[in-house]
Structure 1
């Protein structure tokens, strides 16, 4: 990974954690789902005009030429939009990755509904805006806003397509200009599938640049590095590379930094890296204890409390199901550390999901617990397992719930770290992980092995586990 990409991941991750990130999606991201891009959409229109769409740089002008030759009637353009975008295609991996990120603000020039569908698929409540009137209303319980500045396929007659539409945009869609301008000033945008030839966006970016000069917010754009096309001459290829370099340099005027990828598949890998690094800033602590073993209750709770405090001190977030005998110590340590730092709040650093143990019907209880665990695990990137026992009919047995959380964490790609020294089912889980380090930690198995061994050996005082355990989390959270 090159330095620019690493710098982007570090800085954009910080904006994600502080709820300052936004996404801007162009037609290039929808093409992979089977929709046409602007060039594909206007190809038949251009052909009817006697033009070759591949040779036309100003596609807005092509749409206008069509209107000029048809007495300004939009019927054919509207019908073209309906034919190309009415089919509800499935979101791609890229759209699903964007939907899972902790982002509330999405902007797009696309007419399709891929972003909305992706967000709804992952259980988010979407508030879509594509008319001025919709900007003045708020959908109850929304956790994602999708601004469609060029319209929606359900209203093809109002879609922004031609020069006439763009020239009137300031009057017809002034509130969208205001809203986007405000977001570009306040949020860090990631542009995807966007060619930066849109006159509206160029106008808005120019206004912000003039107003804020050297104080513009940093934005990013992922762009595929120009590759030589089949049968393309060396001269034409070199010209295209020069043009791309000049575009990249021009975007710096708006403080938009281009992150180049070699293939479109690299976009997915980059978004996966963003998602994984964000999730690994949240540590799931899975633990329960009716019997505290040789450590005893007091030493165990002190260990868990110190561990939770150390995680908060490292600016990590803790997720916990508030397991018996362990959850209280997690809360104690986490809250004490959070309250010692004025800039942080409990809601930002601690996610508690106590299980609804009052459900009597066993089938309903199992279904609820399974869904509960799935939602809890989905929040994290690292899972720590401590002890794991309970009382059943007067006997101490291993906690099957911890085994379920372990298997679920594995299936969701979390790094699983059982503290084998704590005994009970955590010891069994540690044996599985330590016995196949390369499978569970393929990237850094050499560095991880001695740390895993350190948290699996019997110790009289659990405090001796803090150093290797925290070193292990440091290593994993930065991968």
Structure 2
């Protein structure tokens, strides 16, 4: 993906913060609109109609909600009913939600009432600690991967949702703990604001106080701004007026340490996040292998090679994903852990992702039918894949090729992951290499990666070539195949 300088710097900055677990997402209504939910203006249209007001001419929507409560004796039952019905509908998560959920982001903030963020994260198998009351702040969900702060409430509790002027005026008293938590995150983390208009009084309150306290030392945050389009206006004068106002707004955001990334269309947000995901995954290597025997290599030499390979990947800053394959898994784990612990490092689940396969069909269920989904999920973490050896012992005690490795190879092709087949290790790795080198329509870069490591039985030379090939694969653009 070709990026201009501004977007390239954004991707690099986000990657750095992501790898250090310093990235946070702040989601506004615009993120949910793509799934089919209404924005604030759409939600309050029936309220405006009831008050005999033109919603298109109303700028202060918070006051509009308050007017309705005033006219109904401070009764907000209709507003609660709108929130419940509008945001409890079953809708599909958007591609932006999906990409975000794939990244190791541990902190989310949102003013949205819907459940799209937690649904996307849970679909990825992540444990989400959702907080929308003061009591939630004192509790920690065991095994959580992500904390989601719903600072304006949840659709299941519409009477507690923050919407009217009364709600906002009392927020700093009733929900002071949330403002303190948000202030702390704005000070210590880099935020990416998505679908947010910066008209929320609560956020403005916090941003102002962070700016006053840390004016010279604010963290850099980012947001996306769709630049004004001439086609949206009836005449040149209107376009120029709104363009000028937008530029002034973008410059004002700099006071709060927020850099606006300009886009022409909203789909560019998803594309940029996909680029972040792609580059992040390039530093994650999936190792596919199984070995009952080791062909031309002695068992001792082969295991030492696997140990060094794993340790070298960790030392070079890569992450490893492995299914703990027969005859290779233990050496991969020991090499990685040795490099992490013996050199003063600290183990992180992101460094070594292990997905051992269940082999005993004790429940009477054929586990093989679940393996495809299991493998697909495991491989989805990686940006490059290595295939080694590939044999197992059959039920009749014959050494046969590993059919699971073939399936993993096909999944990698489907996901567009560059593949390195180490043909010198023989068995399924060599079989796949021979099969796919005979194909005439493979992309040139893909063939080069396949072909590079065949024909050597020197383990030291193979290790050197393998690391060189991995680095080349990580520098390639993400590939896609039909």
- Tell me: CA distance 1:67–1:266, structure 2 relative to 1, closer, same or farther (3 Å): same
Which position in structure 2 is the counterpart of 1:429?
432
Larger helix percent: 1
- Tell me: CA distance 1:331–1:80, structure 2 relative to 1, closer, same or farther (3 Å): closer
- Whether the aligned pair in 2 keeps the contact of 1:23 and 1:190 (CA below 8 Å) is yes
State the 1:110 CA deviation. 0.9
Q: Deviations over 1:16-52 (max 9, x none)?
A: 2222222111001111111110121223333444543
TM-score with structure 2 length normalisation? Answer: 0.90
Aligned: 1:271 with 2:268: no
Which position in structure 2 is the counterpart of 1:461?
458
Task: Give runs of aligned pairs for residues 77-476 of structure 1, distance below 5 A.
Answer: 77-339=79-341, 341-345=343-347, 347-359=349-361, 363-367=365-369, 369-370=371-372, 372-392=374-394, 393-435=396-438, 439=442, 445-446=444-445, 449-456=447-454, 458-476=455-473
Distance in 1 between the 2:350 and 2:34 partners?
36
State the 1:204 CA deviation. 0.6
- Whether the aligned pair in 2 keeps the contact of 1:299 and 1:461 (CA below 8 Å) is no
Between 32-41 and 51-60, the greater mean CA deviation after superposition = 51-60
3-state DSSP of counterpart to 2:25? strand
Q: Deviations over 1:117-157 (max 9, x none)?
A: 22222222333222222222333333232211111222222
- Whether the aligned pair in 2 keeps the contact of 1:417 and 1:430 (CA below 8 Å) is no
State the 1:423 CA deviation. 1.5
Q: Deviations over 1:345-381 (max 9, x none)?
A: 3645222333344446774442464454344323222
Q: Deviations over 1:421-466 (max 9, x none)?
A: 2211101222344456975x6xxx45x654432213x113132233
Structure 1 stretches of 5 or more lacking a match?
A: none
- Whether the aligned pair in 2 keeps the contact of 1:288 and 1:386 (CA below 8 Å) is yes
- Tell me: CA distance 1:33–1:211, structure 2 relative to 1, closer, same or farther (3 Å): same
Distance in 2 between the 1:7 and 1:205 partners?
23
- Tell me: CA distance 1:436–1:7, structure 2 relative to 1, closer, same or farther (3 Å): farther
3-state DSSP of counterpart to 2:293? coil
RMSD: 2.5
Which position in structure 2 is the counterpart of 1:42?
44
Distance in 1 between the 2:342 and 2:227 partners?
47
What is the number of equivalent residue pairs in this alignment?
473
State the 1:58 CA deviation. 2.5
Between 348-357 and 380-389, the greater mean CA deviation after superposition = 348-357
State the 1:394 CA deviation. 4.2
- Whether the aligned pair in 2 keeps the contact of 1:26 and 1:109 (CA below 8 Å) is yes
Q: Deviations over 1:304-330 (max 9, x none)?
A: 333223211220111222223322332
- Whether the aligned pair in 2 keeps the contact of 1:291 and 1:389 (CA below 8 Å) is yes
TM-score with structure 1 length normalisation? Answer: 0.90
3-state DSSP of counterpart to 1:91? coil
3-state DSSP of counterpart to 2:297? helix
Distance in 2 between the 1:303 and 1:156 partners?
59
3-state DSSP of counterpart to 1:465? helix
- Tell me: CA distance 1:223–1:290, structure 2 relative to 1, closer, same or farther (3 Å): same
- Tell me: CA distance 1:396–1:21, structure 2 relative to 1, closer, same or farther (3 Å): same
- Whether the aligned pair in 1 keeps the contact of 2:419 and 2:450 (CA below 8 Å) is no
Task: Give runs of aligned pairs for residues 39-78 of structure 1, distance below 5 A.
Answer: 39-78=41-80
Between 320-329 and 17-26, the greater mean CA deviation after superposition = 320-329
Distance in 2 between the 1:114 and 1:205 partners?
26
- Tell me: CA distance 1:157–1:27, structure 2 relative to 1, closer, same or farther (3 Å): same
Distance in 2 between the 1:152 and 1:91 partners?
17
- Tell me: CA distance 1:388–1:145, structure 2 relative to 1, closer, same or farther (3 Å): same
Structure 2 stretches of 5 or more lacking a match?
A: 478-482
- Whether the aligned pair in 1 keeps the contact of 2:419 and 2:449 (CA below 8 Å) is no
